[in-house]
């Protein structure tokens, strides 16, 4: 909420709607709390302030009633100890905003100080707190501060030469503050500058006499010095030249930090050049800085845009002199004479150096640079502020790049200008996202935002966004130079200044999202040598048409969207767009194909970063292939990226892209089409069956793959995706077949990957020793190769093996090593997995709080990456932890949330059986035996045909349900049978995983007696198969 005490008490919502506060005591309470927002006022103090010496019978209850009334209005009144406070920031109260503006003005230049102080005074709507006698002291303090600000405003207006009204205002204020020396100085200066020296001196004598008679004091040294200067007609008292800066038609929005930085630069350097793309607001920022910066000789704007190329520095100097009224017309005599404009400027600048603003220097860079160099050398104290789309390269030049607005400022500017055209327009929670997206598409360029904002009234935000591509460049404004009335005019101006190679690079770069230097050279290779492309690209950067970005580790270059649209238009006009787009497609197809091998080895980290940086270009290239109906190109690109998509967890993107590529009606080699079908089938299993494709379809395409190396990699991938899903022996056979090829081919990476795969099959069979041997061998091989992803996979096998035998410290150490590798590769999906693994280890160790924290981190990371499988893995960890800590509601909620999601894909069959079992255990812990039995039987049915330990988990649950139903004998045998199944699998339950088994066994032993339980349990231990054990549950 917003509050006003600088006048009648006022309350408004954040949206500006008034909130009536009718009851007098409620208004008084609010006013008292607002005097010092955030500070606690004691109850007794509030009672005294509200009721004085006549409090009600129950004053605290009466006060609580008033507080409740305020709260119903929406005011955040808090009880703190034996008092109340209003939870409002100083800026929520007009008095706080007033003080902040006054303090800010103290640090600003004169022109900015005038704007800030005027804004502060506009907050006053009448006498402060006039309704409340008890607050008279605070009201007097605020009124005194108001008078201080009025004095400071008059002083600042005189400083910038705006003398109109100052004399009358100063005289009126003296009536209220007759002994203020600061105010008296303003009055004296205003009289003196108006040519009324005698009256100025008389004003001084009036104050001097009054100080002596009333206080026995003399005026201070500053006022006495001003008096002496007036007596001596000191030239320093003469008014400074005003300059010729135009008044700002609208407020400067979003440039507060830029303005502060520019003013600081002007205080340190004599030549500051603002660079940046056309339409970014260089001129507007320069004018704001010139108005605020101190300049003894005034601030003068010289607009160079009207000059054609070919003028020299002397002609530009004449333009400066003419603007300042020092020459009537351009010089007609030889340079160096008395009428030489440079000589004229030197003489004029000697006593009062000005601030010269040279606007739009880019097309006159050489003569403008010469003028700046000569002025700086000849006129000490003179400062120059230039705007240009490229540096002037003058010694001592300080460059300040003006970038597009940040997201919030862009929205503010758009909203402000749109409201000018349509007063009903406002940014609301409903349209904020659309406005922000529109601003982003306009590159957050002020000119583009202002032009677009004028159309909101007619089109609305959504329709305006839909028409941007067609009309972005042609929206026009009035009241600006012709070259600035539309983005097209701005860009046409820039295009005319470009060399042939620069135009070639600009149009080539317009087909890309962004590009590194190598890509730019490749895209231009048919027209430019590599060094020519590099030099032209540097020219575009200097001219602010291309931006650089080093955030990915390698420098990349990008055009603003408006420049890119313009570049593509130029290509279309020349009939060259499709040729350029095809060159872009070829470049990124070859890059993707190179990555398929490079991502398997020591260059993995670098190539992951490279493909990440070029993700948008890959999308553009793929869209080009689809638009051109190039089935072969689309399949080449999608197949080449399949391993990258897998590493990054972008399986859904891969599945969709492969489906689109396969759907193009066009020729493609049979082997390539087989590869695309293979990867599509594999990805279908990782997401959900689609288009009739399942994991079982993938092996059908192996025989048609013509590249043996690619086929071996496909077999290896099949072994991983079939793991625990299809027939284990068949899945392992794929890995063995791939291993034979890799060994014969001398492929160290392939052999290490096969070891990693086979280690998992050994784990499934319970051969933990062999699993460890293979995983350690694969780990060592991957480490020698330098493949961090492969090392990470082997560490997971080793960590799961350690966890399965209860070696939790070792499991934690291995998972931490894997997490470190995943973070180094920035594999967010793998990081989420490792955090979940660490969370599980902590749960098994009994630290449920740490387990919950790690699983929550894993879940949040998975949500951030939109990887559903990782979310499920982390969520089930939270589910296990919740049930162990007794939060059955939360455990059941998570299980039911994810059960539909895992019910389809074959790869998630184990998760499906597990979730059913978890729901069964939760029902059993609640005492609902029948529901528990039903759920565990469903889990057992889903586990049939899978690994024995999956069935064992369901059978343990059935034993628990039967124990509640009183069938304790059968329950004990079933519990023993589940233990036998685990033993046959080679993975008996370690201590940390015995939560349910020990709980159920304890119940049975207590009910049956220890000996009877053990006898029944041993009968179950003698069973040998899932069928035998399950047969007991009839």
State the pLDDT at residue 501. 96
pLDDT at 470 over 60: no
Q: Could you give phi then psi for residue 303, rounded to 5 degrees?
A: -90, 115
The whole-number pLDDT of residue 629 equals 96
* pLDDT confidence bin for 479, thresholds 50/70/90: very low
| Average model confidence (pLDDT) across the chain | 87
The residue among 249 and 447 whose pLDDT is bigger is 447
More confident residue, 231 or 630: 630
pLDDT of residue 474: 54
Question: At residue 332, does pLDDT exceed 60?
Answer: no
Judge whether residue 506 has pLDDT over 80.
yes
Contact 232, 224 (CB under 8 A): no
Query: What mean pLDDT do residues 480-492 have?
Result: 66
Tell me if 697 sits within 8 A of 662, measured CB to CB: no
pLDDT interval class at 488 (50, 70, 90): confident
Q: What is the pLDDT of residue 974?
A: 95
Q: Say what the pLDDT of residue 668 is.
A: 95
Return the pLDDT at 687: 61
533, 443 Cβ separation under 8 angstroms: no
pTM: 0.67
Is the pLDDT at 56 greater than 90, yes or no? no
Residue 399 makes CB contacts below 8 A (sequence gap 6+) with 272, 273, 275, 391
From the candidate CATH numbers 1.25.40, 3.40.50, 1.10.4160, 2.60.40, the one assigned to the domain spanning 899-1034: 1.25.40
Q: Looking at the DSSP assignment, which residues form a beta bridge with residue 808?
A: none
| pLDDT at residue 338, rounded to an integer | 46
Task: Give the pLDDT confidence score for residue 32 in this predicted structure.
Answer: 87
For the segment 354-383, the average pLDDT, to the nearest whole number, is: 92
Residues in CB range of 61: below 8 A, 6 or more apart: none
Among 172-176, 407-411, 648-652, the range scoring the smallest mean pLDDT is: 648-652
Lowest mean pLDDT across 129-138, 351-360, 622-631: 129-138
Distance CA(133)–CA(837), nearest Å, equals 68
Lowest mean pLDDT among 30-39, 141-150, 769-778: 30-39
Range 348-365 average pLDDT: 88
Q: Flag whether pLDDT at 966 surpasses 80.
A: yes
> Which CATH number is associated with domain 498-575?
1.10.10.10
Q: Is the pLDDT assigned to residue 119 strictly greater than 80?
A: yes
Q: What is the mean pLDDT of residues 819-839?
A: 91
pLDDT at 335 (0 to 100): 45
Mean pLDDT of 330-356: 70
| pLDDT tens profile 671-712 | 999 999 999 888 876 665 444 445 567 788 888 898 999 999
Q: What pLDDT does residue 877 have?
A: 95
Q: Which of 30-34, 582-586, 603-607 is predicted with the least confidence, judged by mean pLDDT?
A: 30-34
Strands 397-401, 271-275: pairing kind: parallel
Is the pLDDT assigned to residue 337 strictly greater than 80?
A: no
- Percent of the chain, pLDDT > 70? 93
**Sheet order of strands, 299-303 included:** 299-303, 355-359, 383-387, 271-275, 397-401
CATH fold, domain 1-162, is Arc Repressor Mutant, subunit A (1.10.10)
Lowest-pLDDT range of 302-316, 352-366, 377-391, 752-766 = 302-316
C-alpha separations of 728 from 426, 500, 679, 762, 765 in Å: 62, 64, 20, 10, 9
Say whether pLDDT at 356 is over 60. Answer: yes
| 542 has a pLDDT exceeding 90 | no
Residue 526: which pLDDT band, with cuts at 50, 70 and 90?
very high
- pLDDT per residue as tens digits for the range 718-742: 887 765 555 577 788 999 999 999 9
Distance (Å, whole) CA 612 – CA 606:
10
pLDDT tens profile 1022-1031: 998 888 888 8
Average pLDDT rounded to a whole number, residues 890-907:
85
Residue 628's Cβ-count burial label (10 Å; 0-12, 13-18, 19+) is middle
CATH code reported for the domain at 256-401: 3.40.50.300
Query: For residue range 246-258, what is the model confidence (pLDDT) as tens digits?
Result: 877 788 899 989 9
For the stretch 747-752, contacts whose Cβ atoms lie closer than 8 Å and that sit 24 or more positions apart, written own/partner, are 747/709, 747/712, 748/781, 748/784, 748/785, 749/600, 749/601, 749/782, 749/785, 749/787, 749/790, 750/712, 750/713, 750/716, 751/781, 752/777, 752/778, 752/781, 752/782, 752/785, 752/787, 752/790
């Amino acid at each position: 909420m917003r509050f006003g005490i600088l006048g009648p008490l006022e309350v408004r919502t954040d949206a500006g709607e008034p909130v009536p506060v009718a009851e007098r005591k409620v208004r008084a309470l609010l006013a008292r709390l607002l005097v010092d927002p955030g500070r606690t006022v004691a109850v007794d103090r509030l009672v005294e302030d509200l009721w004085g010496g006549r409090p009600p019978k129950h004053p605290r209850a009466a006060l609580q009633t008033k507080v409740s009334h305020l709260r119903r209005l929406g005011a955040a009144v808090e009880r703190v100890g034996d008092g109340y406070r209003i939870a409002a920031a100083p800026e929520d109260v007009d008095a706080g905003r007033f003080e902040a503006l006054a303090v800010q003005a103290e640090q600003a230049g004169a022109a900015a100080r005038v704007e800030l102080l005027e804004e502060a005074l506009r907050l006053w709507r009448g006498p402060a707190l006039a309704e409340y006698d008890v607050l008279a002291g605070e009201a007097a303090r605020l009124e005194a501060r108001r008078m201080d600000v009025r004095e400071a405003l008059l002083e600042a207006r005189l400083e910038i030469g705006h003398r109109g009204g100052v004399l009358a205002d100063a005289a009126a204020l003296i009536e209220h503050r007759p002994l203020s020396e600061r105010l008296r100085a303003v009055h004296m200066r205003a009289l003196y500058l108006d040519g009324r020296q005698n009256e100025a001196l008389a004003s001084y004598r009036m104050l001097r006499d009054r100080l002596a008679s009333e206080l026995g004091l003399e005026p201070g040294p500053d006022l006495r010095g001003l008096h002496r200067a007036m007596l001596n007609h000191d030239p320093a008292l003469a008014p400074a030249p005003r300059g010729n800066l135009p008044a700002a038609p609208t407020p400067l929005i979003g440039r507060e930090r830029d303005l502060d930085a520019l003013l600081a630069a002007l205080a340190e350097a004599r030549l500051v050049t603002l660079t940046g793309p056309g339409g970014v607001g260089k001129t507007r920022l320069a004018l704001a800085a010139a108005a605020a910066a101190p300049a003894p000789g005034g601030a003068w704007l010289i607009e160079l845009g009207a000059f054609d190329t070919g003028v020299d520095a002397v002609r530009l100097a004449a333009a400066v002199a003419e603007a300042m009224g020092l020459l009537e017309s351009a010089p007609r005599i030889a340079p160096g004479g008395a009428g030489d404009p440079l000589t004229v400027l030197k003489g004029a600048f000697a006593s009062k150096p000005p601030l010269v603003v040279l606007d739009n220097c880019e097309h006159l860079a050489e003569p403008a640079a010469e003028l700046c160099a000569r002025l700086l050398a000849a006129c000490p104290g003179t400062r120059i502020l230039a705007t240009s789309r490229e540096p002037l390269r003058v010694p001592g030049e300080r460059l300040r790049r003006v970038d597009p607005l940040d997201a919030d400022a862009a929205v503010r500017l758009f909203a402000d200008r749109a409201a000018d055209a349509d007063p009903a327009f406002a940014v609301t929670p409903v349209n904020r996202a659309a406005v922000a997206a529109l601003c982003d598409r306009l590159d957050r360029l002020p000119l583009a935002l202002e032009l677009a904002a004028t159309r909101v009234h007619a089109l609305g935000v959504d329709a305006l966004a839909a028409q941007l591509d067609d009309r972005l460049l042609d929206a026009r404004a009035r009241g600006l130079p012709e070259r600035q009335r539309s983005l097209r005019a701005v860009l046409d101006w820039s295009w005319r200044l470009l060399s042939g190679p620069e135009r070639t690079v600009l149009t080539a770069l317009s087909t890309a999202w962004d590009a590194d230097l190598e890509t730019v050279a490749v895209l231009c290779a048919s027209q430019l040598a590599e060094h020519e492309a590099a030099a032209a690209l540097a020219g575009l950067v200097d001219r602010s048409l291309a931006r650089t970005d080093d955030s990915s580790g390698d420098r990349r270059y990008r055009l603003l969207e408006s420049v890119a649209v313009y570049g593509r238009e130029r290509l279309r006009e020349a009939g060259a767009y499709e040729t350029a787009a095809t060159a872009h497609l070829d470049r990124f197809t070859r890059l993707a194909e190179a990555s398929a091998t490079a991502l398997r080895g020591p260059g993995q980290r670098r190539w992951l970063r490279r493909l990440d940086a070029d993700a948008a270009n890959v999308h553009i290239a793929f869209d080009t292939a689809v638009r051109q109906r190039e089935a072969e190109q689309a399949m080449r690109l999608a197949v080449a990226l399949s391993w990258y998509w897998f590493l990054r967890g972008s399986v859904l993107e891969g599945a969709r892209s492969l489906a689109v590529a396969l759907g193009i009606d066009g020729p493609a080699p049979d082997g390539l089409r087989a590869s695309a079908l293979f990867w599509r089938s594999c990805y279908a299993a990782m997401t959900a069956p689609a288009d009739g494709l399942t994991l079982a379809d993938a092996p059908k395409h192996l025989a048609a793959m013509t590249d043996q190396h690619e086929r071996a990699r496909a077999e290896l991938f099949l072994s991983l995706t079939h793991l625990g899903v299809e027939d284990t022996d068949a899945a392992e056979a794929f890995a063995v077949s791939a291993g034979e090829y890799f060994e014969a081919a001398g492929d160290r990476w392939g052999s290490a990957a096969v070891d990693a795969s086979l280690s998992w099959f050994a784990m499934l069979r319970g051969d933990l020793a062999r699993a460890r041997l293979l995983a350690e061998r694969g780990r060592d091989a991957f480490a020698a190769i330098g493949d961090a992803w492969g090392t990470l996979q082997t560490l997971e096998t080793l960590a799961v093996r350690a966890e399965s035998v209860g070696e939790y410290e070792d499991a934690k150490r291995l998972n931490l090593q894997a997490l470190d590798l995943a973070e180094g590769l920035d594999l967010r999906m793998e990081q989420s997995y490792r955090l979940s693994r660490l969370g599980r280890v902590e749960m098994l160790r009994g630290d449920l709080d740490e387990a919950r924290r790690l699983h929550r981190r894993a879940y949040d990371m998975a949500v951030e990456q939109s990887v559903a499988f990782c979310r499920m893995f982390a969520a089930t960890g939270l589910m296990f932890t919740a049930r162990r800590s007794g939060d059955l509601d939360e455990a059941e909620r998570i299980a039911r949330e994810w059960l539909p999601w895992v019910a389809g894909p074959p790869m998630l069959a184990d998760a499906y059986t597990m979730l059913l079992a978890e729901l069964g255990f939760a029902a059993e812990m609640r005492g609902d035996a029948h529901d528990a039995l039903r759920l565990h039987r469903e889990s057992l049915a889903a586990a049939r045909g899978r690994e024995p330990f999956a069935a064992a988990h369901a059978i343990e649950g059935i034993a628990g349900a039967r124990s509640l139903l009183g069938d304790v004998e059968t329950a004990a045998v079933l519990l023993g049978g589940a233990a036998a199944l685990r033993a046959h699998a080679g993975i008996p339950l370690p201590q940390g995983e015995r939560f349910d088994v020990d709980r159920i066994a304890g119940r049975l032993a207590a009910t049956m007696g220890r000996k009877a339980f053990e006898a029944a349990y041993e009968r179950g231990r003698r069973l040998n198969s899932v069928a035998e054990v399950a047969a007991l549950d009839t």
